[in-house]
Structure 1
Amino acid sequence: MVDTEKLEAVAREELVCLWGDLNEARMYAINGKWSIKCDQLEERIKDLTRLIGPIPWEEIQLSLLELGIYQRVHAELGIDTAEVRPDMAKVAEVRARH
C-alpha cells in the first residue's frame, strides 16, 4: 500500500531541493544568468509542481524571488495564488540582514 502523505512529503522536499539546484546552476552558468542545466531543472520543477502544487515562496532562495524567476515559472504554469506572490518587502528585509 502506498503511503500518499509520505509520498507527497518526499515530493515537496525534492521540489525544494530542485529550486536550490536551480539557484546554484544559475550562479555557475557561464554568463551568470542561465544555462541548459537551468532549463532542465526548470522543467523538472514544473513537472513536480503540476503534481503537488507550489512550494511557498518563504522556502525559495532570495535571488530567485528578486529576479522574478519563481514568479515566472508559476505564471507559466497558470498558478496565480497568494502562495506564489512573495512579499517583496519581507524579501528585502531578509536580504538586508544577510
Structure 2
Amino acid sequence: MASDMHGDITSTLGARIAAGEVPPGSVLTLAQLERDHDASRTVVREAVRVLESIGMVRSRRRVGITVQPREDWEANSPQVIEWNLQGPFRQQQLEAL
C-alpha cells in the first residue's frame, strides 16, 4: 500500500510540476506535502527522491524542496515524457521526440 501511495504522490506532483502548476523556483516542504497528500513523511520523502533523481526538484536542508527549471530535468525519462504529453507542453514534447 505504501508503494502505491508513493507512486500516486510522485505521479500527481510530477504532473503538476510538468504542467507548470508548480513553477520553477517554488519551494515546497515535506510537512506541506504530507498534509496535501495525507501521507506519512517516509512516503513523501520517497516520492521526492524519485522526482529528485530525474532533476525535477532539489531538496536541501533548511531550504526545502525547490522545483528546478525544465532544462535541468532528465528529458529522456519515461515519466517526464508521459507528464509532458499529458499537459500543456504536449506539442513541445512531440517535437522533441
Higher relative contact order (CA 8 A, sep 6+): 2
Q: TM-score, normalised by structure 1?
A: 0.36
| Larger proportion of strand | 2
Bigger helix share? 1
